[in-house]
Chains A and B, each alone.
Chain A
Amino acid sequence: MKLDAKIPSGPLAQKWTNYKNEIRLVSPANKRKYDIIVVGTGLAGASAAASLGELGYNVKAFCLQDSPRRAHSVAAQGGINAAKNYRNDGDSVHRLFYDTIKGGDFRAREANVHRLAEVSLNVIDQATAQGVPFAREYSGYLATRSFGGAQVSRTFYARGQTGQQLLLGAYQALMCQVSAGTVKIFPRHEMLELVLVNNHAKGIVVRDLISGKISTVTADAVVLATGGYSNAFYLSTSGVASNVTASWRAHRKGALFANPCFTQIHPTCIPVSGDYQSKLTLMSESLRNDGRVWVPKNAGDKRSPEQIPDSDRDYYLERIYPAYGNLVPRDIASRAAKRVCDEGRGVGPGGLGVFLDFRDAIKRLGEPVIRERYANLFDMYHEITIENAYKTPMRIYPAIHYAMGGLWVDYNLMSNLPGLFVIGEANFSDHGANRLGASALMQGLADGYFVLPYTIGDYLARNEVKRPAADVPEAKLAETETAARLNKLLSIRGKRTPVEFHKQLGRILWDNCGMAREEAGLKKAMQAIAALREEFWQNVIVPGSHADLNMALERAGRVADFLELGELLCLDALERRESCGCHLRTEFQTPEGECLRNDTDYAYVAAWEFTGAGKPPQLHKEPLVYEEAHMAQRSYK
Chain B
Amino acid sequence: MKITVRVWRQKKAQSAGRFVEYPVEGANPDMSFLEMLDVLNEGLVKKGEEPVHFDSDCREGICGTCSCVINGEAHGPESRVTTCQTYMRSFKDGDTITVEPFRAKAFPLIKDLVVDRTAFDRIIQAGGFISVNTGAAPEANSIPVPKHASDLSMDAAACIGCGACVASCKNASASLFVAAKIAHLNLLPHGKPEKDRRALAMIQAMDAEGFGGCSVTGSCEAVCPKGIPISFISRMNRDYMVAALKMRE
Contacts and interface: CB of A to CB of B under 8 A. Distances in A.
Nearest to A282: B60
B21 interface: no
A353 interface: no
B153 A138 contact: no
A210 B111 CA distance: 9
B15 to A, nearest CB: 10
A277 B34 CA distance: 10
Among B61, B62, B126: residue with most chain A CB under 10 A: B62
Interface string A130-169: 1101111111111000000000000000110100110010
B109 to A, nearest CB: 11
B97 interface: no
B124 A172 contact: yes
Interface stretch (B49-57, B207-215, B231-239): B49-57
A51 interface: yes
Interface string B107-139: 000110010111011001110111111111111
Contacts of B132: 126, 129-130, 173
Interface string B85-104: 10101000000000000000
Contact of B188 (A84, A133, A384, A548): A133
Contacts of A185: 121
Given A124-B140, A128-B190, A383 B118 contact: no
A179 interface: yes
A61 to B, nearest CB: 12
A355 B130 CA distance: 43
Given A126-B134, A187-B118, A541-B48, A72 B63 contact: yes
B140 A75 contact: no
Contacts of A498: 45
Interface stretch (A317-325, A549-557, A602-610): A549-557
Contacts of A86: 141
B63 A497 contact: no
A434 to B, nearest CB: 23
Interface in A231-257: 239-241
A383 B83 CA distance: 12
Contacts of B161: 67, 69-70
Contacts of A544: 50
Interface in B1-57: 11-12, 26, 28, 30-32, 34-35, 38-39, 42, 44-46, 48-51, 53, 55-57
A176 B130 CA distance: 8
A630 to B, nearest CB: 32
A493 B48 contact: yes
A362 interface: no
A50 interface: yes
A185 B121 CA distance: 10
A386 B87 CA distance: 10
B36 to A, nearest CB: 8
B42 A497 contact: yes
A501 to B, nearest CB: 12
A453 interface: yes
B145 interface: yes
B57 A240 contact: yes
Interface residue tally of chain B, by bracket?
A: 35 or more
A383 to B, nearest CB: 5
Given A175-B125, A239-B57, A549-B111, A453 B134 contact: yes
A159 B185 CA distance: 17
Interface string B50-77: 1101011111111111000000000000
Contacts of A175: 121, 124-125, 128-129
B171 interface: no
A164 to B, nearest CB: 6
A617 interface: no
B137 A136 contact: no
Contacts of A164: 62, 158, 160
Nearest to A173: B129
Contact of B57 (A54, A70, A136, A161): A70
B246 interface: no
Contacts of A601: none
A171 B134 CA distance: 13
Interface residues of A, number: 85
Among B38, B78, B114, B124: residue with most chain A CB under 10 A: B124
Given A131-B184, A136-B150, A175-B125, A125 B85 contact: no
A158 B154 contact: yes
B218 interface: no
Nearest to B86: A383
A187 B57 CA distance: 14
Contact of A172 (B11, B48, B78, B129): B129
A416 B132 CA distance: 34
A75 B85 CA distance: 14
Given A138-B147, A276-B31, A278-B38, A129 B153 contact: no
Contacts of B121: 67-69, 175, 178, 185, 187
A161 B151 CA distance: 13
A229 interface: no
A43 B190 CA distance: 21
A276 B137 contact: no
Contacts of B60: 75, 279, 281-282, 380
Interface string A171-214: 11101101100000101000000000000000000000010000
B243 interface: no
A528 interface: no
Nearest to A165: B157
Among B31, B137, B138: residue with most chain A CB under 10 A: B137
Contacts of A159: 154, 158
Contact of B184 (A128, A133, A161): A133
Interface of B: 11-12, 26, 28, 30-32, 34-35, 38-39, 42, 44-46, 48-51, 53, 55-65, 78, 80-81, 85, 87, 89, 110-111, 114, 116-118, 120-121, 124-126, 128-141, 143-147, 150-151, 153-154, 157-158, 160-161, 184-185, 188, 190-191
Given A74-B63, A133-B184, A172-B129, 12 more contacts: A67-B118, A129-B136, A158-B154, A172-B130, A185-B121, A210-B110, A239-B59, A239-B63, A383-B61, A383-B87, A499-B45, A549-B110
23 contacts: A65-B57, A66-B118, A67-B121, A74-B58, A128-B140, A128-B143, A128-B190, A131-B130, A131-B157, A131-B190, A133-B151, A135-B150, A137-B147, A158-B154, A175-B121, A274-B30, A276-B28, A383-B61, A383-B85, A495-B46, A497-B42, A497-B46, A541-B46
CB-based closest 4 A-B pairs? A140-B144, A129-B137, A172-B129, A239-B57
